[in-house]
Amino acid sequence: MRILMTGGTAGIGLVAARRLLKDRALLAIGARRPDRAPADFSGRVDLKPLDLADLDQVRAFAARIAEGPPIDVLLLNAGLQNVSGGRSRQGYELTFAANHLAHHLLLRLLLPRMAPDGRIILTASGTHDPAEQTGMPPPRHADARRLAHPETDPDLDRSAGVAGRRAYSTSKLCNVMTARELARRLAGERPDLMVAAFDPGFTPGTGLARDYPFPLSLVFRFVLPLVVRGKRVSTPANSGRLLAQLAVDPRWAGARGDYIAVRGRGLESVPPSALAQDDEACARLWTDSEALTGPV
């Protein structure tokens, strides 16, 4: 089984990668710094350079991957939260560019290389849904052009920190909407492909808040885990285990755009947010993202 991952060298992705290696998967991982990958990957993982903040690198990475055998599982797991106003190499808001646009382009480039009965999984987040009351600023819209160029958004938050956290929750909304729209588009030509958005739950300790100011980073890592309770709270070990399970367990082979979330020690298919269920908005996001990333 050939598995391709982004975000497989740290956090829940690292846990999932190690579990998949135990199943003797042929694992390829795109990483911004392959030289800093865990030592136990040496000789076991095909590590290739990939900076999701540069769409040219995404295209080059996909071209190298396409030279190999068909892909059985495509795990688009990498994610970041930028609260410093960073931009991608193409000039797009950094969080939206890396979390959504790069993965949108990558899956479009690699769709022709998907094996029969393959699986495509995008890591999303419960922060995309205002009803979950995660404490993160919820998305206001899924307008790709305004998200790529936030300076054009009349409703942009004045605080860079709030704007950055909202950019994260909105990028995760886009991941959910992409999974739903992809499944709709594949229904005719590739109905064999499983497609899902994965919610790892609230999972402190993954390094996601590394761009936060130091005091806020401490609150995220050490205080919130003591305050937040319930089935939506998880650990990197638990969520990574369940991501690996989602990649191979026959139980989930029939997912077609489902939103599958960590709930306690297991996975549940749950409804996403109201905006994520808007079929017209999903189709529009896909079309606008194509325009921003270019043809394949």
pLDDT band at 135 (very low <50, low <70, confident <90, very high): confident
**Percent of the chain scoring above 90 in pLDDT:** 86
Say whether pLDDT at 216 is over 90. Answer: no
**Rounded-to-integer distance, Cα 296 and Cα 294, Å:** 7
Segments forming the whole domain that contains residue 217: 2-293
pLDDT band at 203 (very low <50, low <70, confident <90, very high): confident
**In the chain, how many domains are there?**
1
- Residues 215-234: what's their mean pLDDT? 64
Say whether pLDDT at 32 is over 70. Answer: yes
- pLDDT at res. 31: 96
Write out pLDDT tens, residues 98-115: 999 999 999 999 999 999
- pLDDT at res. 116: 98
Q: 99: which DSSP letter? A: I
Say whether pLDDT at 171 is over 70. Answer: yes
- pLDDT at res. 41: 97
Say whether pLDDT at 206 is over 70. Answer: no
Q: Which amino acid is at 107?
A: L
Least confident of 21-30, 106-115, 209-218, 237-246: 209-218
- pLDDT at res. 291: 98
Contacts of 185 by beta carbon, 8 Å cutoff, 6+ apart: 286
Domain CATH number, residue 65:
3.40.50.720
Whether this prediction's pTM lies above 0.85 is answered by: yes
Say whether pLDDT at 204 is over 90. Answer: no
Least confident of 112-126, 169-183, 208-222, 227-241: 208-222
Packing angle between helix 160-189 and helix 102-110, nearest 10 degrees?
A: 20
Say whether pLDDT at 258 is over 80. Answer: yes
End-to-end CA distance of the chain: 26
pLDDT band at 91 (very low <50, low <70, confident <90, very high): very high
- Residues 13-29: what's their mean pLDDT? 95
SS3 47: strand
- Residues 15-39: what's their mean pLDDT? 95
Say whether pLDDT at 207 is over 90. Answer: no
- pLDDT at res. 228: 60
What number of other Cβ atoms are within 10 A of residue 91's Cβ?
A: 9
- pLDDT at res. 233: 87
- pLDDT at res. 231: 81
SS3 2: strand
pLDDT band at 296 (very low <50, low <70, confident <90, very high): very high
Contacts of 94 by beta carbon, 8 Å cutoff, 6+ apart: 53, 80, 82, 86, 87, 88
Q: 167: which DSSP letter? A: H
**Rounded-to-integer distance, Cα 106 and Cα 102, Å:** 6
- pLDDT at res. 219: 56
